[in-house]
Structure 1
Amino acid sequence: MMINMVWGRMKSFWKEEEGLGTLELLLIIVVILIIALLFKKEIMALITKLIASMNSKSEEFTK
């Protein structure tokens, strides 16, 4: 009896339009976090390279 009630509520949650937007947003965030964790070293190297480039360009501009 209790399992049927819980199952029914889960089914109605999946069919509900408002809950679907929240679920999609949550899944997108999870995918972005997984990708960021997988490519953490490459992302950090790119950011470090960009900051170093900005620093050198700003030094050239101030001279």
Structure 2
Amino acid sequence: MKKFTASFLRDNRGVTALEYGLIAGLIVVVIGSTVKGLGTQLDAAFQAITLLLPH
């Protein structure tokens, strides 16, 4: 049991996959919030343009 525990604690193959998963999740959150903010700004810009156009 002692050898298994020591070997388990030294094994870091899963850690790399976990790190990549966390980085990918962070990128998704950043892209999502950026797109949402940009969409809100574009909506406001188009609303302003439509108010300037003659009806």
TM-score (norm 1): 0.41
Higher relative contact order (CA 8 A, sep 6+): 1
TM-score (norm 2): 0.46
Which structure shows the higher helix fraction? Answer: 1
Larger Rg: 1 or 2?
Answer: 2
